[in-house]
């Protein structure tokens, strides 16, 4: 059996779901445009630049979850999926995932975006295993804080290893291990698998993939 791991934002999706969720709430009038939009963009720019403080960002990104009921959030997310996410999923991305599933690979989406936003997206791809940043809950409500290790940079390695260990497995147990990503922020996990693949990579990842001889593909066709 092979292991196939997929980043989500700007890899399987032609957008960043975390950023788009915030903008969706702004456009719905749930969040104040003036107060939220500029900060959301600033954090996204920091992510692209590789300077993001993940704990500071999560304090910002998870706060709206704590301010609304589960019923409200679920209703908004269903609209978010229809209007913002599904249109960004191209046929090549669906075919890539389905090919690995059909081959019998153990597949997981590994994303820094929180599991509230990304679980329905993983379901859309038919991927049962989601390794994401986990929002803390208490008494059935989100607290606005993160639970455990954020699934970001080196944290992705830790979270993947914990997930495999819970199944009695390790990375070295697989004949081949693949990770598909667009971002230089994912270089730690890309360097740990046997078959790293840069997908529509940012400039930093493109340069590193060229230097190391990694495969480079596009899912935007």
* 60, 32 Cβ separation under 8 angstroms: no
Residues 101 and 105: their CA atoms lie apart, in Å, by 6
Dihedral of CA atoms 150, 164, 89, 50 in degrees, nearest 10, equals 30
Q: Judge whether 186 counts as a catalytic residue.
A: no
Rounded distance between C-alpha atoms, residue 7 and residue 199, angstroms: 9
* Greatest Cα pair distance in the chain: 51
Distance CA 221, CA 207 (A): 22
Distance CA 163, CA 45 (A): 30
Could you confirm whether 7 is annotated as catalytic?
yes
Of 215, 171, 177, 175, nearest in space to 197 by CA: 215
> Of the listed 9, 16, 18, 186, which one is catalytic?
9
DSSP letter for each residue of 94-143: HHHHHHHHHTT-EEEEEEEEEHHHHHHHHHHHT--EEEEEEEEEETTEEE
The residue from 7, 18, 105, 202 that is catalytic is 7
Q: Are 17 and 7 in contact (CB under 8 A)?
A: no
Q: Which residues are catalytic?
A: 7, 9
């Amino acid at each position: 059996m092979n292991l196939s791991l997929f980043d989500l934002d700007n890899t399987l999706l032609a957008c960043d779901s975390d950023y788009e969720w915030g903008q969706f709430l702004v456009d719905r009038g749930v969040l104040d445009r003036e107060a939220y939009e500029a900060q959301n963009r600033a954090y996204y720019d920091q992510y692209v630049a590789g300077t993001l403080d993940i704990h500071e960002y999560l304090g910002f990104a998870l706060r709206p979850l704590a301010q609304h009921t589960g019923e409200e959030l679920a209703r908004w997310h269903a609209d978010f999926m229809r209007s913002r996410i599904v249109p960004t999923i191209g046929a090549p991305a669906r075919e890539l995932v389905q090919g690995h599933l059909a081959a019998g690979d153990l597949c997981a989406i590994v994303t820094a975006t929180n599991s509230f936003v990304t679980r329905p997206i993983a379901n859309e791809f038919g991927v049962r295993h989601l390794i994401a940043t986990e929002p803390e809950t208490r008494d059935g409500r989100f607290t606005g804080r993160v639970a455990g290790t954020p699934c970001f940079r080196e944290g992705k390695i830790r979270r993947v290893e914990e997930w495999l260990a819970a199944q009695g497995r390790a990375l070295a147990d697989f004949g081949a291990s693949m990770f598909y990503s667009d971002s230089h922020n994912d270089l730690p996990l890309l360097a740990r698998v046997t078959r790293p693949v840069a997908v529509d990579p940012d400039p930093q990842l493109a340069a590193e993939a060229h230097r190391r001889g990694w495969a480079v593909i596009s899912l935007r066709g």
